[in-house]
Amino acid sequence: MNVVRGVLAEFLVARAVGDRTSARHAWSDWDVTVPNGPKIEVKSGGYLNSWTMRRLSRIEFNGLWGRRWDEATLKRDTAPTVIADVFVFAVHTCVMPASYNPRDLRQWEFYVVSSDIIKARTAPKRRISLKFVQSHSAPVPWEALGGEVTRVWAETRRDGRRE
């Protein structure tokens, strides 16, 4: 099911970057935290869906901006912002229903994009396409994902754009 694909993508990213948190917090301001590292927002998509399709899905991502939760007021901020430090776009690449296996890591591609790019080039309610993501990141296999997240985050911090 499509909703499970997103949860699986978050799990895969968490394991790749060393986040061993036992519970997923569905309403957190971001999805994954690297120990002593970046806050990561995970977005997922795939060409196949759980329903009968005439053609492959066009992959788009939304929900890139959010409203921070304020523990003091117990309310969300009124203005949306990009909360995470890094975005990981997880794409299940299988296009043949008979071969569909989301547990097969070879069927996934991961794209790591700095939050600065998302903030500078998107608007709060805008969807972005896979093509947009691919124009700002090369795909990395799961085994290289942790290193790529670290690289993108370090580059962002080195440039002084984010603390």
- 134-157 tens-digit pLDDT: 999 999 999 999 999 999 999 887
pLDDT value, residue 19: 86
Using CA atoms, how far apart are residues 89 and 7, in angstroms rounded to an integer? 13
Beta-carbon-side half-sphere exposure of residue 17 (alpha carbons within 13 Å) = 32
pLDDT value, residue 163: 43
Q: Is 152 within 8 Å of 144 (Cβ atoms)?
A: no
pLDDT value, residue 50: 79
Q: Is 142 within 8 Å of 110 (Cβ atoms)?
A: yes
pLDDT value, residue 160: 57
Using CA atoms, how far apart are residues 59 and 45, in angstroms rounded to an integer? 6
pLDDT value, residue 117: 94
Ordered mean pLDDT values, 10 residues apiece, the chain (163 residues) = 87 92 75 89 93 91 89 86 95 94 96 95 88 97 96 82 47
pLDDT value, residue 78: 85
